[in-house]
Amino acid sequence: MGRVIHFEVPVDNVERAEKFFSKTFGWKLEQQNGPWGKYLAVITGDASEAGINGAFYKREDESAENARVINVLDIDDIDKHVKKIKEHGGEILYDKMVVKGVGYLAYFRDPGGNLLGMMQHDSTAGMEEGEK
């Protein structure tokens, strides 16, 4: 359906963002490697509550493509949606990549110039036979 399921927010100081949001809102943050380098996964609340989780990442340059908030959409077939994005005037910026144990992720620009991500969930993505 394409619902927003995740947000990514660029920050100048990852440690400062972690301290502020954990102390102010009780968010849980976990250091990970992400598509933009230093990346803090953000859990904004209990899974039984409405809402979405996200991430903070280090903003390297104000003029960079990823220097703004990015929303990630939940999709059922990433290959199909890559094709549809191209057909309808969008541009694929970062093609399908594996997020081990989570699924497949790609980033695109819509015809209006907005940067978005899309995720196809697959818990076996990138896993070796013994890990599945």
**Is there a shared CATH topology between the 1-62 domain and the 75-132 domain?**
yes
Structure tokens at 102: 């989570």
Report for 18-27, 47-56, 117-126: range of highest mean pLDDT? 117-126
Average pLDDT, the chain: 86
Q: What share of the chain is helix, strand, coil (3-state, %, to 5)?
A: 20, 40, 40
pLDDT (tens digit per residue) in 26-50: 899 888 766 656 788 899 888 888 8
16 pLDDT tier (thresholds 50, 70, 90)? confident
According to the model, what pLDDT value does residue 56 have?
87
Per cent of the chain over pLDDT 90 is 34
pLDDT (tens digit per residue) in 68-105: 888 999 999 999 999 999 999 999 999 999 999 999 99
What CATH number matches the domain at 1-62, 3.40.50.20, 3.30.830.10, 3.10.180.10, 3.30.70.20? 3.10.180.10
The predicted model gives 118-122 an average pLDDT of: 94
Residue type, 95: D
Per cent of the chain over pLDDT 70 is 90
Q: Are 104 and 96 in contact (CB under 8 A)?
A: yes
Q: Which residues contact 117 (CB under 8 A, 6 or more apart)?
A: 6, 8, 70, 71, 72, 73, 105, 106, 107, 108
According to the model, what pLDDT value does residue 26 have?
86
What are the structural domain ranges in the chain?
A: 1-62, 75-132
What is the torsional sign of CA 55, 56, 57, 62?
positive
Burial (CB count within 10 angstroms: exposed 0-12, middle 13-18, buried 19+), residue 5: middle
* 75-132: CATH architecture: Roll (3.10)
Higher-confidence residue of 112 and 98: namely 98
Of 92, 113, 117, 114, which Cα lies nearest the Cα of 104?
117
The β-bridge partners of 71 are: 7, 116
